[in-house]
Amino acid sequence: MLTNEKVEEMMTSPSKELIAEMKMLDGDLLILGIGGKMGPTLAKLAKRAIDEAGVSKRVIGVSRFSSGNLREELEACGIETIIADLLNDEDLQKLPQAENVIYMAGNKFGTQGNEHFTWAMNAYLPGRVAEKYQKSRIVVFSTGNVYPLTSVVQGECTEDHPVNPVGEYAQSCLGRERIMTYFSHKNRTPALLFRLNYAIDMKYGVLLELGKCVYEGRPVDVTMGHVNVIWQGDANEYALRSISLCSSPPKILNITGPEKISVRWISEQFASRFNKKASFTGEEQSTALLNNASHSHQLFGYPKVSLMQMIDWTAEWIEAKGETHNKPTHFQERQGAY
């Protein structure tokens, strides 16, 4: 039976490749924006890999830590924590230097009506961080939303596909990339733009959303008819292994699973597991937000957790009424309004 503890154990268990890379990597690791969906498991994965490599490196996590017991949880795992508001320049300048930075801070949901904050977080703050950490390697979390919707039959967006973001959130994310790229050129800072599409865990994500729709007898909207997903543990490992690939100008890397998945097919997979009938609304459009991550698979290997395994785990989690973040992904959004 899946439990929170078992899921976290699976998500934070390092591969032998990651352990080897952490052993070779020089310097400490600083994670900016550790309090988000992926930050805690990424930090724990890094700490376990470092410990199993038998080397001494600090893992430091920065967040506002405004609610809950995450700070205590991280420190119990040997991860150092710092309370800071990154938009407060005094807080930012007090942060320690580190040879390796994973930049995860940003804003997506709630952009409508609060666009100024999203732009400050996603496009202004990266410049301040880039100046502060100009001598570091920086892995910059970005999103496949910087690409346009593309034909579902003509191939997904590779790293050399022209960007054309839809909506202010996606535009501000491209702003983050452009600002980081400017400072990488200016200061010769090695960086990598980590364009991620739909990381999956048991508490949040596209699969959970679709599975719950089917389980609760609600119709599934198939207008955005195809998606990419990747297990969050695999995405975290790719992020840590990307540190050694940082360059100036920044390297761009798409991160997602290998499949282009039909939303209708996923829903029917859940229906068969729940012994229910899936119902649908809308009509599949000829375009969708789809990334081709074959280059990252060439570099790191295919994700270790398969699509069918993710579906099985998600179905089990839903039937057991496991804990969720109760936040929609808005993956169906075609106009970029988050």
% of the chain exceeding 70 in pLDDT? 99
The whole domain housing 171 covers 4-199+232-257+290-304
**Domain-embedded: residue 328:** no
Q: What is the mean pLDDT of the chain?
A: 95
In CATH, what number is assigned to the domain containing residue 237? 3.40.50.720
% of the chain exceeding 90 in pLDDT? 92
**Domain-embedded: residue 141:** yes
What is the b/e burial string over 255-282, where b = at least 16 CB atoms within 10 angstroms of the residue's CB?
Answer: bbbeebbbbbebbbbbbebbeeebebee
**Domain-embedded: residue 214:** no
**Domain-embedded: residue 191:** yes
173, pLDDT greater than 90:
yes
259, pLDDT greater than 90:
yes
53, pLDDT greater than 80:
yes
- Say which residue, 77 or 327, is predicted with more confidence: 77
Q: How confident is the model at residue 68 (pLDDT cuts 50, 70, 90)?
A: confident
Q: How confident is the model at residue 338 (pLDDT cuts 50, 70, 90)?
A: low
**Parallel, antiparallel or unpaired: strands 287-288 and 150-151:** antiparallel
**Domain-embedded: residue 98:** yes
**Domain-embedded: residue 300:** yes
**Domain-embedded: residue 55:** yes
Number of domains within the chain: 1
